[in-house]
Chain A
Amino acid sequence: MARIPNAQWRRALAAQRVAFTWLFVATLVVSLSALVVIGIILVRGAGALSLEFLTAMPSNGMRAGGIFPAIIGTLELVGLTVLFALPMGLASAIYLTEYAKEGWTTRLVRLAIVNLSGVPSVVYGLFGLGLFVIFCRFGTSLLSGALTLAIMVLPVIITASEEALRSVPKSFREVSLSLGASHWQTIRHAVLPFAIPGIMTGTILGVSRAAGETAPILFTVAAFYLPRLPESLFDQAMALPYHLYVISTQIPNIPASQRYGTALVLLLLVLSLNLLAVVLRTRYRRRQRW
């Protein structure tokens, strides 16, 4: 099939070489930048990591000591967020896949979900302030913050759960219904168990987003400096992302290691959640045999 290359063909090939080089370089810039950021934080923050840094209260105006209350605050916040967002998101997804007939209601719901996922995070913060902190009188508290974050991650959980539910074959439902199971029994025993890995993946991704967000918790939970653990749902709390913001912009003369150390802990938390989601997804794909 050897063809004699004419000038035009050669020029086209040369153009292709140039273009592909550019595409390759661009891809490297995008995909390596994450590694560069992670690398910088790892190298400069690793020195700050110690048992004391992870388990001590901050001291000396946050210039020394540890970040224990911020770590615990973020974990509690994230746990509560899942508690609120998962049941509601899952029910929403079940509604969309199993109960609703396609029509203007589902179109409106989908439109709402699309818009929710596009609302700027700081607007969620405003909303949380208006509704939970002031209107519901929850005050600046873990509860207000977790509810705000739950609303923010809702679209992620709904979309992922919907996809997981839809990937369960129709025949599973037909068999269950034909055996006399009710609609809900079918969903509960013949559909949900097979969608769980997908739902979990989506939830974990949503959670990792919630763990790293700062703007929605600025006016709903975050305590600037609170060297103790929150005692109830109605208590303020410190959180890792807000703490990083505070010590890198609001307080002068902080040793850089404190900042990089905090950034590293936050990054490790978020990335390990993402890793967990990826592992789940791969194992699930390998196991899926229908």
Chain B
Amino acid sequence: MSWQRRREQVIEFSIRACGISSILIVTLIFLFLLREGFALFRSIPIGDFLGGHRWYPISEPPRFGILPLILGSCLVTAGATILAVPLGIASALFVSEIAKGWVREALKTGIELLAAIPSVVLGFIGMAILSPQIKHAFDLPTGLTALTGSITLAFMAMPTIVSITEDALTAVPRGHREAALALGATKWQMMWRVLLPAAGSGILAAVMLGIGRVIGETMAVMMVTGNAAVIPRTLLQPVRTLTATIAAEMGETVRGSDHYFALFAIGIVLFVISFLINMIADLFLHRERT
């Protein structure tokens, strides 16, 4: 009997230990990024890092200004968001309120399929199919531009936006819909004036998580945006993002060099951005529920 109790205690202890491991992992990730990233600020002031206009990590002397990278990420993300949000919300409305039966199932499957495609495959298609089109359409020297990145990434953000918006719409009580229709609203008026505002905070969460997905995307963006570390002026020029910089340069750095530390410092910036975005999204989601 006591042997059994002993066993029971061991099992419970290990389960509890695993249970709080996620907290440990998040902390570990942050600590490791800090440990390696902060080493950079011994030789370069943090202001020059965040606000510097030049990213020349291997020239002599090297420059580690990530402003062009931040702006590159912002530009690509903004473009993708502008494309993905209206399409995503519209699809969620259609799938959850209008489509019925097998049409609905087929559309949902299509959207799930899109979410399943690996980013490197989307990047490959963006490179092989989309970028020549863009080059041709705008008569550019290269088709690898911020716009190409925005379009590719929009398709990666859409499934996230659709599924979370759909959840938010489903959570709106039936009574809201029925009351609006009973007052003589058309179905569209009901959706536009009652449903969307009622699901508002859930939809905001969906948009935030979509943005988070786009900012953190690495492979596709590295393959289609051309990777020029300059401060971008238009959507039609090559840009380089924070994520692509880490992925493209980490292989060539020497461990313990300033360049290596700088890439970890970029990791900190990304971690903090994604942390904030997820916190805000979570806040919106919880407001929804209560």
Given A30-B114, A219-B251, residue A182 in contact with residue B274 (CB < 8 A): no
| CB–CB B91/A26 < 8 A | yes
| CB–CB B111/A92 < 8 A | no
Least CB distance, B219 to chain A, in whole angstroms: 5
Given A16-B188, A31-B91, A241-B118, residue A271 in contact with residue B113 (CB < 8 A): yes
Residue of B nearest to A87 (CB): B18
Pick the residue among A34, A105, A182, A266 that contacts B114 (CB under 8 A): A34
* Residue numbers in B under 8 Å from A37 (CB-CB): 114, 117, 121-122, 125
| CB–CB B215/A130 < 8 A | no
**Once the chains are docked, how many angstroms separate the CA of A131 from the CA of B110?**
38
Whether, in the assembled complex, A111 has its beta carbon less than 8 Å from a beta carbon of chain B, the answer is yes
Interface of B is mostly: helix
Least CB distance, B264 to chain A, in whole angstroms: 6
Within 8 A of B (CB), among A37-52: 37-38, 40-41
* Residue numbers in B under 8 Å from A219 (CB-CB): 250-251
* Residue numbers in A under 8 Å from B94 (CB-CB): 20, 23-24, 26-27
| CB–CB A115/B26 < 8 A | yes
**Once the chains are docked, how many angstroms separate the CA of A244 from the CA of B119?**
11
Whether, in the assembled complex, B238 has its beta carbon less than 8 Å from a beta carbon of chain A, the answer is no
A-B pair count, CB < 8 Å, reads: 271
* Residue numbers in B under 8 Å from A118 (CB-CB): 209, 212, 216, 274-275, 277-278, 281
How many of chain A's residues have a CB under 8 angstroms from any CB in B?
88
* Residue numbers in B under 8 Å from A80 (CB-CB): none
Q: Mark B177-196, 1 if CB is under 8 A from A, else 0.
A: 00000000011110110000
* Residue numbers in A under 8 Å from B275 (CB-CB): 115, 118
Binding site for A on B (CB under 8 A): 4, 7-8, 11-12, 14-16, 18-23, 25-26, 28-29, 32-33, 35-36, 86-88, 90-91, 93-95, 98-99, 106-114, 116-125, 127-129, 155, 158-159, 162, 186-189, 191-192, 209, 212, 215-219, 222-223, 243, 246-247, 250-251, 255, 263-264, 267, 270-271, 274-275, 277-279, 281-282
- Given A27-B95, A130-B264, A183-B12, 6 other A-B residues pairs in contact with their CB atoms under 8 A: A120-B218, A125-B246, A183-B8, A218-B247, A219-B250, A267-B117
Binding site for B on A (CB under 8 A): 9, 12-13, 15-16, 19-20, 22-24, 26-27, 29-35, 37-38, 40-41, 87-88, 91-92, 94-96, 98-100, 105, 108-109, 111-127, 129-131, 134-135, 151, 154-155, 158, 182-184, 208, 211-215, 218-219, 241-242, 244-245, 248-249, 256, 259, 263, 266-267, 270-271, 274, 278
Nearest first, the 8 closest Cβ-Cβ pairs linking A and B are: A95-B19, A212-B118, A120-B216, A31-B110, A91-B18, A26-B90, A16-B188, A34-B114
